[in-house]
Amino acid sequence: MTTNDSKKALILDFGGVVTRTLFETHDVTERALGLAPGSLTWRGPFDVSSDPLWMRMQAREITERDYWTTRTAEVGALVGETWTDMQTFVQRARGAEPELVLRPEAREAILAARAAGMKLAILSNELDLFYGAEFRKRFPLIELFDVIVDATYTRILKPDPRAYELVLAELGLERQDCVFVDDQLKNIEGAVAIGLPHVHFDVTHPAESYRRALQMLGLQTQSTK
């Protein structure tokens, strides 16, 4: 295992990579909101045929923010309320227990990278926009991250090259010494455009995605199964 390697960094998207997706936690959402089991049927990448809106997003007919704005309004309507922002959705659905949202595989990878002395960064388009600043403050392991670049504040959205350059500048590292992990192909294409090593995260196979990222940084693990 590589140790004390502060000249390398693991750069993670937040939603879907560090956290479990809302698609994976429909049961948690339904319980939290008092909805009947099975009320939420859209499954995104876990069942594309169930989610034409997701297919439109993947075809880039709408943005990721457009997708979640629509879902937010739909779920709000199910509980008889008008929801206009993703933060309301996330906090009402599962904000009371942030630890339920953390991917087990993410926990292992973050701890392994930190134990090896590597730097950690989050590069997100909507961390506080979706989850809220208070949620982030209570999120497990957040204190281990050296850098958090959130377009909620920078207004520079991936795949704009400036977003990647900003996180690299804050890390103070060369791009070849970093690995960027994101579940959205368009954001991976942004990394490709600036020559940033990357892993296209597969939310249906998270352990393998994290294993690849750590291996690219020279870290061999026997966990993250």
Q: Check whether residue 124 and residue 142 sit in a common domain.
A: yes
Q: pTM for the whole thing?
A: 0.88
How many independent structural domains does the chain possess?
2
The predicted structure's pLDDT at residue 46 = 94
In this structure, what token pair is assigned to residue 59?
């075809």
Question: Do residues 207 and 154 share a domain?
Answer: yes
pLDDT at residue 116 in the model: 97
1, part of any domain: no
Q: Is residue 221 one of the residues assigned to a domain? A: no
Q: Tell whether 182 and 76 lie within a shared domain.
A: no
CATH assignment of the domain containing 164 = 3.40.50.1000
Structural contact between residues 51 and 43, judged by C-beta atoms closer than 8 angstroms: yes
53 and 154: one domain?
no
State both tokens at 187.
């954001």
Same domain, yes or no: 79 and 134 = no
In this prediction, residue 133 carries a pLDDT of 87
Polymer length of the chain = 225
Residues 41 and 93 occupy one common structural domain: yes
pLDDT recorded at residue 224 = 46
In sequence order, which residues have a C-beta less than 8 Å from that of residue 152 and are 6 or more positions away? 124, 126, 127, 128, 129
Consecutive 10-residue averages of pLDDT for the chain (225 residues) = 72 96 92 95 94 94 91 97 91 80 96 97 92 88 97 96 98 98 95 98 97 96 53
My answer on whether 92 and 106 are in the same domain is no
Domain that holds residue 115: 9-19+102-216
- Residue at which a domain ends, from 98, 123, 141: 98
Alpha helix locations (H) across the chain?
Answer: 26-33, 52-58, 64-78, 86-94, 104-115, 133-137, 151-154, 161-171, 185-194, 206-216
**Looking at the structure, do residues 109 and 94 belong to the same domain, yes or no?**
no
Same domain, residue pair 150 and 84: no
User: Does a structural domain hold residue 107?
Assistant: yes
